Chain A
């Protein structure tokens, strides 16, 4: 999985509790992403980061926050989990080198996923 570790791999939690998912990379890639995957919706981008402390919202960011204090770590936090956030969450990374900037964002390497159940 291209040096990407997601933790935990599985989690069951209760509605209203905070949850933090971690994505750790050993590739020193600039870009990192959080997606969720649900039946009938495919993969949807939650948040992404284009550098340390540089993050932005994706298409389904409500109810989620992220932080990136180090190149290698990108955290996804559900401040107060809801049942609608039950999903499989994937982290992805991509490189950015000057000569390949235009391709960098489109070649993403994904982690193994975190299966989250909110009861």
Chain B
């Protein structure tokens, strides 16, 4: 699985868009980008995933650069409840017997009132 790099922390004002970057410069053609988050004392929560096209769901948007070496998770209108650690994970489509999701250190997003 490709290595990812995320800033350790970010701040965002409530109601504004939160843009969380992730660098995955060694990503290969068969690897998807996944985003999860973990709110304090809760289990991780799947947010969104993508291969090369931009994706949007009810929680967020995922923008992947054309060369696929980086991506940005966008929370369009951040609320206080979006304060969490956000994890960017890159995984191959052919996982074989590798079932383990590897969560790095992620980005602590703090949404301020």
Contact = CB atoms under 8 A, between A and B. Distances in A.
B101 A108 contact: yes
B44 A105 contact: no
A84 interface: no
B34 A105 contact: no
A59 interface: yes
Interface in B8-61: 32, 34, 41-46, 49
Nearest to A6: B43
Given A43-B103, A45-B99, A45-B100, A107 B49 contact: yes
A74 interface: no
Given A45-B99, A45-B100, A102-B94, A111 B105 contact: no
Give the interface centre of B43, B44, B46, B99 by most chain A CB atoms within 10 Å.
B43
B104 interface: yes
A110 B91 contact: no
Given A108-B46, A113-B43, A102 B95 contact: yes
Given A42-B105, A59-B100, A106-B34, A112 B93 contact: no
A109 B46 CA distance: 7
Interface residues of B, number: 23
Given A43-B101, A106-B49, A107-B34, A90 B44 contact: yes
10 interchain residue pairs of minimum CB distance: A110-B43, A102-B93, A45-B100, A106-B91, A43-B103, A42-B103, A105-B95, A48-B99, A110-B44, A90-B43
26 contacts: A31-B99, A33-B99, A42-B102, A43-B101, A45-B100, A50-B99, A56-B99, A58-B99, A58-B100, A59-B100, A92-B44, A102-B94, A103-B49, A103-B93, A106-B89, A106-B91, A106-B95, A107-B46, A108-B44, A108-B46, A108-B101, A109-B46, A110-B44, A111-B43, A112-B43, A113-B42
Interface of B: 32, 34, 41-46, 49, 89, 91, 93-95, 97-105
